[in-house]
């Protein structure tokens, strides 16, 4: 059997799809599926010899219409020899190509790109769930129609959380055609963090976009600096359109000595920072079900996070981490972030219990190997079903 995977980001890009696609493609190859990947890329000069499958790269930074046409034609060309198209990105290009190909389509939906576009372009300041139920400008209404149309045209939709399943169902996809398969991570041996360090090390990982609310994490350091008993440092991993604004915010608040921007990191570099950190902070206004939160738990970090989207399916209402409320469903208060951090540091026993419960949940629901096998089983049953 032959499978074509279409995705917008792929290594060396970072992000959920760029992490997931190489792994699922590898698992498909191991299960005797001939697999190929079509992706966008900042450069075409990448050696993909380390992959056991063919990677077809299309230059990201070119005329949008030109890129769109090239992508559709490439999907048609490669898709002719596929039994199934797995769409993890570029949904409209995949849909248009499949009007000719008439192949079975499995679509993975990890969020709402129409909402993300609206937030990134300052076309809306709606919270995620609020955005789903309101009318917007023509630009956003076209985007909403597009994301809904391409989703309900897929034969099977996979979401990483029950929350996102309910959202996709409202877009028009039938409930019987939506399946939840949780994201997963490696289960690693736990290391005790050193107690005699000079600094409490905080870390956040993700795209530097407005709805990630990383500015609130930075500002929480001002509150934490009022505490004399501890010194704090923050590592910000990732890149994106807010990078310059965030660096300016750090400078304006005299936090340069306490905040480090790493940019994008590979898996080994990121793992090193996790091992050296104590607390993972997520302040997003929305997440589908973030890999980074699972990775942080697997590295035995304390978790401080907004309980949005699928995230609360991990946190379980403060059971497996420390939740911070959102103001108007959009952003947390920096004072609340600081307060939770100070509290967990003073209440180590309670924090250790939360970390223990989080790791038990990780083994039960978010074991990467088990969840990948669920993907393989789902795809196999879907291909063989007539």
Q: What is the pLDDT of residues 341-355, one digit of tens each?
A: 999 999 999 999 999
Q: Is the pLDDT of residue 101 over 70?
A: yes
What 3-state DSSP class applies to 342?
helix
Here the contacts of 373-379 (C-beta below 8 Å, separation 24 or greater) are 373/27, 374/181, 375/24, 375/27, 375/158, 375/181, 376/27, 376/28, 376/31, 378/106, 378/156, 378/158, 378/179, 378/181, 379/3, 379/28, 379/33, 379/84, 379/86, 379/106
Residue 55: Cβ-neighbour burial (10 angstroms; 0-12, 13-18, 19+): buried
- C-alpha 125/C-alpha 359 separation (Å) is 35
Q: Is the pLDDT of residue 77 over 80?
A: yes
The answer to whether 44 and 124 have CB atoms below 8 angstroms apart is: no
Compare 369 and 97 and report the one with higher pLDDT: 97
- C-alpha 230/C-alpha 372 separation (Å) is 41
Q: Is the pLDDT of residue 10 over 60?
A: yes
- C-alpha 97/C-alpha 92 separation (Å) is 8
pLDDT in tens, 243-302: 999 999 999 999 999 999 999 888 889 999 999 999 999 999 988 888 899 999 999 999
pLDDT of 113: 92
14-28, 29-43, 118-132, 225-239: least confidently modelled range: 225-239
Secondary structure of the chain: what % helix, strand, coil (to 5)? 45, 20, 35
Structure tokens at 100: 């000719």
The proportion of the chain whose per-residue pLDDT surpasses 70, expressed as a percent, equals: 97
Bridge partners of residue 199, in order along the sequence: 231
The proportion of the chain whose per-residue pLDDT surpasses 90, expressed as a percent, equals: 77
pLDDT of 68: 96
Q: Count CB atoms within 10 A of the CB of residue 104.
A: 19
Cis amide prior to 171 (ω within 30 degrees): no
Mean pLDDT score, 71-91: 96
pLDDT in tens, 178-235: 999 998 888 776 665 656 578 899 999 998 989 999 999 999 999 898 765 678 999 9
pLDDT of 17: 87
Q: Which residue has the tokens 């026993």?
A: 349
pLDDT of 289: 87
What's the mean pLDDT when you consider all of the chain? 92
pLDDT of 195: 61
Q: Is the pLDDT of residue 60 over 80?
A: yes
Q: Is the pLDDT of residue 134 over 80?
A: yes
Structure tokens at 352: 């250790």
Mean pLDDT score, 74-82: 97
Structure tokens at 378: 């789902």
**pTM to 2 decimals?**
0.87
Mean pLDDT score, 316-323: 94
């Amino acid at each position: 059997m032959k499978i074509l995977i279409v995705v917008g980001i792929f290594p060396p890009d970072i992000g959920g799809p760029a992490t997931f696609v190489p792994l699922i493609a590898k698992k498909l190859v191991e299960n005797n599926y001939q697999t190929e990947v079509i992706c966008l890329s900042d450069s075409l000069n990448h050696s993909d010899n380390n992959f056991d499958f063919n990677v077809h790269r299309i230059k990201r930074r070119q005329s949008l219409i030109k890129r769109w046409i090239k992508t559709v034609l490439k999907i048609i060309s490669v898709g002719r020899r596929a039994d199934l198209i797995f769409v993890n990105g570029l949904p409209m290009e995949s849909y248009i190509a499949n009007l000719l190909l008439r192949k079975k389509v499995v679509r993975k939906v990890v969020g709402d790109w129409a909402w993300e576009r609206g937030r990134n372009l300052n076309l809306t300041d709606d919270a995620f769930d609020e955005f789903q139920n309101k009318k917007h400008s023509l630009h956003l209404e076209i985007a909403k129609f597009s994301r809904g149309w391409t989703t309900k045209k897929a034969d099977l939709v996979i979401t990483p959380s029950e929350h996102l399943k309910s959202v996709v169902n409202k877009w028009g996809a039938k409930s019987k055609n939506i399946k939840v398969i949780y994201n997963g991570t490696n289960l690693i041996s736990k290391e005790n963090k050193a107690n005699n360090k000079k600094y409490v090390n905080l870390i956040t990982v993700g795209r530097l976009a407005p709805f990630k609310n990383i500015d609130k994490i930075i500002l929480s350091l001002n509150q934490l600096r009022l505490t004399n008993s501890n010194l704090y440092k923050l590592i910000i991993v990732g890149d994106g359109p807010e990078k310059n604004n965030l660096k300016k915010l750090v400078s304006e608040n005299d936090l340069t000595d306490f905040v480090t921007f790493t940019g994008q990191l590979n898996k080994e570099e990121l793992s090193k920072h996790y091992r050296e950190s104590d607390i993972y902070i997520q302040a997003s206004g929305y997440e589908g079900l973030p890999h980074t939160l699972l990775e942080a738990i697997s590295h035995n970090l304390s978790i401080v996070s907004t309980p949005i989207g699928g995230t609360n399916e991990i946190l379980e209402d403060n059971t497996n981490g420390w939740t911070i409320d959102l103001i108007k469903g959009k952003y947390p208060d920096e004072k609340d972030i600081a307060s939770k951090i100070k509290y967990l540091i003073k209440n180590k026993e309670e924090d250790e219990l939360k970390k223990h419960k989080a790791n038990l949940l990780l083994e039960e629901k978010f074991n990467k190997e088990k969840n990948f096998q669920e993907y393989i089983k789902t795809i196999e049953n879907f291909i063989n079903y007539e």
